[in-house]
Structure 1
Amino acid sequence: MAILPVLACFALLPGARAVSPAPDGCFPNFTTAEGCDALNSLTIGAGNTGLGWRSLFLDSTGSFNTGVGAGALILNNGSSNTAVGAAALLLNTTGSNNTAVGTDTLVFNDSGAANTATGYFALMNDTTGGSNTAIGSEALTANTSGN
């Protein structure tokens, strides 16, 4: 008789409730998404991973991207980008082969390619520049289009 109250408690736990889709994170085309609206618009892109609120939100055709953190790569349709941190590569639309690690890294990048930024606000204002490397907090924040 003591077992029934215990079982009733487990039935009320949030994890015991059914959700749709199931939180397995596995989607077609070798894609993984977890978080509110992560990879919301994906149609033909493959090999993407979106973890966090609206990470890779508008990505429909980009492939092999990784966005971890709230808003990471939110506007992206480029390919082979890695963004780790809230708002990393936030405004990237067509830029490819970029790596951004840290809050607001490469946040204004639009079409710049082959950039690497590590650290809070690193390469923050870069919009079209390519092949830049910025390491450290606020490194190259004034760079907008240089290569």
Structure 2
Amino acid sequence: MDILKAVALSVAVSGVAATAPAFVLQDAAGQFWALKDHLGRERLLIVSQPSAAYLAEVRRQNVALQVRDLRVVALLHSGDARLNGPQTLTLTLLADSAGTVAQQYGPAALIGKDGGVKARYAAPPALNIVLGLVDGMPMRQQERRERGK
């Protein structure tokens, strides 16, 4: 399946009109992180229990994510050593001890700046698929015209 078909399929089954459920979680340092503080400023890709390789790819794609105002929020078990791993401007590692946020969002979900769930994924999606979906969003196209990137 090519990238455009995969994006279209994820959007078609995503429940685009749904609003992202609010949540507040802590990072490894005990600092609170609230979804509501990021809506309107950033798009969020919430990913439950991503692999170390996935997190490494997010770190490598930091610039591409920044350009698109896209933050990856990785939900990890409270005892997971990766919580203490390096974060970037576009990667946030949070402890979801009870797994309640992961239950709400599933394996992965893309949240738009408007707070709407734009796509749900059965597994952490390849970043090129998410970036393609974001680039097709009307708000992102407007940003590109205004910012020139």
Fold similarity call, TM over 0.5: no
Query: Structure 1-normalised TM-score?
Result: 0.25
Instruction: Decide which structure has the larger Cα Rg and report it.
Output: 1
**Normalising by structure 2, what TM-score?**
0.25
Larger RCO (CA within 8 A; separation ≥ 6):
2
More helix by share: 2
- Larger strand share, 1 or 2: 2
